[in-house]
């Protein structure tokens, strides 16, 4: 019994050690498989989430306005050719055969136009010849059909991109637009068995190890194209076994989830191709443009091999850094293409003999920076900064880059000239330098063609055109004249004699800019010569509150007060608001809204926003014409008459302005087609020791000379409601035969003079007295 009990209580025989280990391995394997499965599911959901959202953050692009060309249009030839260069037209020594090519000839330029796509217009590119002479464009002819064109639109110019923190630039391309030789070149360089493996290529890995061992260093990588995509698109660049393992898993998942063509398309849009300044060039679309100035579909096999060769080391093999090294790398890719039977021996010899030709490396700074800042503020009401940095919007503006460049150059030239002429204006501190503003607008549409808010954007980002408040001085006088037209006429005689006014129990006596002997002058003469005393007299007779009521439709943000000094521009105003207000004089009394944005399209070409001109009537066409005619006399024989000596041969309406102690110098001038406002001064109010006629007016003249396309000899027609009469200059009444100085003057129909001049009617006066005496005698 005891033996049986001991037998029952005996310990079980332990399992053999190998069996136990096998079970542990099996359990560990099952656990590892479970963990791996869960982890791969996690990676898979991450891949799905990434591709379900936007694959890339594409910066939105800001474009200038299009350029309209037609026979008879004046052009500035250097600026015109420079614009073609900025539009990435490449000079060739033959007739252009592909989009983006141009040939310069003695009296013409032959261009194969790029495609045009804006919210307003779309067309495919075609070859044209633009013939010109010193007077402008003579003829525009299609090279393919020999048809003469009455109009031609050049595509808009790229001004800037709204980059995010990564500062990546790419043009997305479809795999269907990628030429076969580019696909072969990339596969030859990076993954020859791409269409055979499933994301990981053991043969390629072993081959790479063998090649590297044979050469005693790293010559060839073992990662497949899919692994590269996994690394670049999903992972950080760190070199660890953990990251490599994740790379392998993601590559397998990508191959399981997507077709080969889809993976290849994503790879071609993702891969890094080098730097343009601080901007990263990504994807074959952007690389084709950056290195060769053409769309990816237009690449040659040799150019495709060059791009494929860059993938291994974009900065090492860049043709902009070492052209010979780039050529050797390209030829290696061509050899690999030949080995894979993707090109023939003849093609190999042909392409390897070709030099590496690029479109030229140009790092351009921020174009029209003050205009772009002004535009950006308006865009923030429509889109968040994140959207602008990622949605790939195409933003079309009103900017004319030729006008913008001319404005920037004219401002810098004349400010430098002022500093050279007067050492008192020189400042070593960039923050205290002499500054200026140029605003150029189309009066009838409100389109801002150019906006220069300062002398150097790098030194000062303060946009004086849209943000500064400065005393306008005499630039305000036309608004006094405008208000006065309800009671008075251009022929009304005003007092130009010394007079003291009381303001808040203080005495104030306006002074003229220069001593004068004429103590009685007409309203026209007061505007023409900018007589302060006469304009204050006009303001007081008109009524200060009436003036304030008259300027309300212009929408000034200045808080004016009914002081006599109002007439002389003593209240600070914003330059852009002044430019806009003057547009009403040039646009038959219609006040436009300053427009910088024309339209927005998404990355698929769908129109999201389309902004049309927004106008409202501020004054009558009759009053607008009378003010314009008054301002024309300023240029014809007044404070702006020096424009004629500067070669301004066409009719212009303009007004100079100078404030107390020469703190501000102004000039605004306009024609029916263009208006430009100029301001010169120091931010801290230091004197510029020059008037508007000598400091600001020359900038206007230089600018207008540089943009002949906006110049014509057309002028404003007198609208119904305006009549012209012959009057006596001295009395402002209808001219009689005895009047010594007879002039023609415009009037509103309702307040034109009806009585003849009595100042010079001596004979009728004497004869009338004789008749009275005869009656008394009788």
The one-character DSSP state at 115 is P
Q: Which two tokens stand for residue 177?
A: 């637009």
3-state secondary structure of 669: strand
Please tell me what DSSP assigns to residue 12: P
Distance CA 700, CA 679 (A): 10
Structure tokens belonging to residue 60 = 């939105």
On the 0-12 / 13-18 / 19+ scale of CB atoms within 10 A, 634 is buried
CB 521 within 8 A of CB 490: no
Strand, coil or helix: 212 = helix
**Are 109 and 102 a contacting pair, CB within 8 Å?**
yes
Is the Cβ–Cβ distance between 479 and 551 less than 8 Å?
yes
What the block records as the tokens of 264 is 């290849």
What is the Cβ-side half-sphere exposure of residue 683, based on CA atoms within 13 angstroms?
18
* Closest to 404 measured CA to CA, from 736, 706, 107, 155: 706
The two three-digit tokens of residue 480, written as one number = 């006094």
CA distance 564 to 721: 31
Q: Which two tokens stand for residue 641?
A: 């008459």
> Per the residue annotation, which of 60, 474, 522, 633 is the catalytic one?
474
691 catalytically annotated: no
The active-site residue, picked from 157, 190, 247, 577, is 190
Q: Is 774 a catalytic residue?
A: no
The neighbour count for residue 185, using CB atoms within 10 Å, is 29
Return the SS3 of 214: helix
Q: What single string gives the DSSP state of each residue in 18-84?
A: HHHHHHHHHHHHHHHHHHHHHHHHHHHHHHHHHHHS-SS-BPEEEE---EEE-TT----HHHHHHHH
Which sequence positions are flagged as catalytic?
Answer: 190, 474
């Amino acid at each position: 019994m005891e033996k049986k009990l001991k037998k029952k209580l005996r310990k079980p025989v332990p399992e053999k050690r190998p069996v136990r280990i096998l079970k542990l391995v099996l359990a560990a394997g099952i656990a590892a498989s479970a963990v791996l499965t869960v982890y791969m599911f996690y990676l898979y959901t991450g891949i799905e989430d990434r591709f379900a959202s936007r694959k890339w953050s594409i910066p939105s692009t800001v474009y200038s306005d299009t350029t309209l060309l037609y026979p008879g249009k004046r052009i500035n030839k250097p600026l015109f050719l420079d614009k073609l260069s900025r539009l990435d037209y490449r000079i060739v020594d033959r007739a252009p055969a592909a989009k983006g090519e141009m040939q310069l000839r003695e009296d013409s330029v032959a261009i194969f136009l790029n495609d045009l796509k804006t919210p307003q217009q779309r067309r495919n590119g075609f070859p044209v010849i633009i013939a010109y002479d010193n007077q402008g464009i003579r003829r525009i002819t299609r090279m393919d059909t020999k048809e003469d064109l009455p109009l031609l639109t050049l595509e808009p110019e790229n001004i800037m991109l709204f980059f995010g923190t990564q500062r990546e630039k790419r043009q997305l391309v479809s795999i269907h637009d990628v030429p076969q030789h580019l696909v072969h070149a990339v596969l030859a360089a990076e993954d020859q068995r791409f269409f055979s493996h499933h994301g990981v290529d053991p043969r390629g890995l072993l081959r790479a190890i063998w090649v590297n061992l044979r050469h005693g260093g790293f010559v060839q990588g073992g990662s497949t194209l899919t692994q590269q995509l996994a690394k670049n698109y999903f992972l950080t660049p760190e070199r660890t076994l953990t990251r490599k393992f994740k790379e392998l898993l993601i590559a397998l998942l990508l191959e399981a989830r997507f077709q080969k063509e889809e993976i290849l398309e994503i790879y071609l849009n993702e891969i890094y191709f080098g730097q343009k300044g601080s901007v990263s060039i990504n994807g074959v679309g952007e690389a084709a443009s950056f290195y060769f100035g053409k769309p990816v579909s237009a690449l040659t096999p040799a150019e495709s091999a060059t791009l494929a060769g860059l993938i291994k080391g974009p900065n090492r093999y860049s043709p902009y850094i070492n052209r010979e090294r780039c050529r050797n790398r390209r030829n290696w890719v061509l050899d690999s293409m030949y080995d894979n039977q993707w090109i023939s021996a003849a093609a190999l010899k042909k392409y390897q003999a070709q030099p590496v030709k690029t479109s030229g490396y140009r790092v351009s700074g921020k174009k029209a920076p003050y205009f772009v800042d002004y535009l950006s503020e308006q865009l923030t009401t429509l889109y968040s900064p994140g959207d602008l940095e990622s949605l790939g919007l195409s933003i079309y503006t009103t900017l004319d880059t030729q006008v913008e460049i001319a404005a920037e150059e004219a401002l810098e030239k004349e400010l430098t000239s002022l500093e050279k002429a007067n050492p008192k204006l020189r400042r070593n501190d960039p923050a205290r330098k002499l500054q200026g503003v140029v605003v150029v607008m189309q009066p009838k549409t409100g389109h801002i063609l150019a906006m220069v808010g300062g002398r150097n954007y790098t030194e000062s980002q303060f946009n004086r055109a849209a943000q500064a408040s400065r005393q306008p001085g005499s630039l305000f006088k036309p608004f006094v004249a405008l208000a006065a037209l309800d009671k008075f006429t251009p022929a009304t005689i005003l007092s130009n004699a010394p007079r003291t006014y009381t303001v808040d129990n203080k005495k104030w006596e306006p002074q003229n800019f220069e001593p004068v002997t004429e103590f009685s002058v007409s309203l026209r003469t007061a505007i023409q010569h900018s007589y302060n005393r006469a304009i204050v007299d006009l303001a007081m007779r008109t009524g200060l509150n009436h003036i304030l009521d008259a300027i309300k439709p212009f929408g000034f943000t200045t808080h004016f007060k009914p002081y006599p000094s109002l007439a002389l521009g003593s209240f600070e105003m914003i330059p852009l608001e002044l430019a806009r207000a003057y547009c009403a004089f040039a646009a038959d009394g219609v006040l436009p809204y300053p427009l910088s944005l024309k339209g927005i399209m998404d990355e698929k070409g769908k129109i999201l926003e389309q902004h049309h001109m927004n106008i409202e009537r501020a004054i009558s066409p009759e009053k607008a014409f009378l003010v314009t005619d008054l301002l024309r006399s300023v240029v014809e024989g007044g404070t702006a008459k020096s424009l004629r000596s500067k070669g301004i041969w066409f009719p212009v309406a303009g007004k100079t302005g100078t404030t107390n102690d020469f703190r501000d110098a102004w000039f605004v001038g306009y024609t029916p087609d263009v208006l430009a406002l100029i301001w010169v001064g120091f931010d801290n109010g230091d004197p510029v020791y020059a008037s508007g006629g000598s400091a600001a007016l020359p900038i206007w003249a230089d600018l207008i000379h540089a943009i002949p396309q906006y110049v014509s000899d057309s002028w404003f027609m007198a609208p119904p409601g305006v009549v012209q009469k012959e009057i006596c200059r001295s009395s402002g009444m209808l001219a009689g035969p005895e009047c010594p100085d007879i002039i023609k003057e415009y009037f509103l129909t309702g307040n034109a003079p009806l009585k003849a001049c009595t100042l010079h009617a001596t004979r009728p006066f004497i004869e009338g007295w004789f008749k009275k005496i005869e009656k008394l005698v009788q």
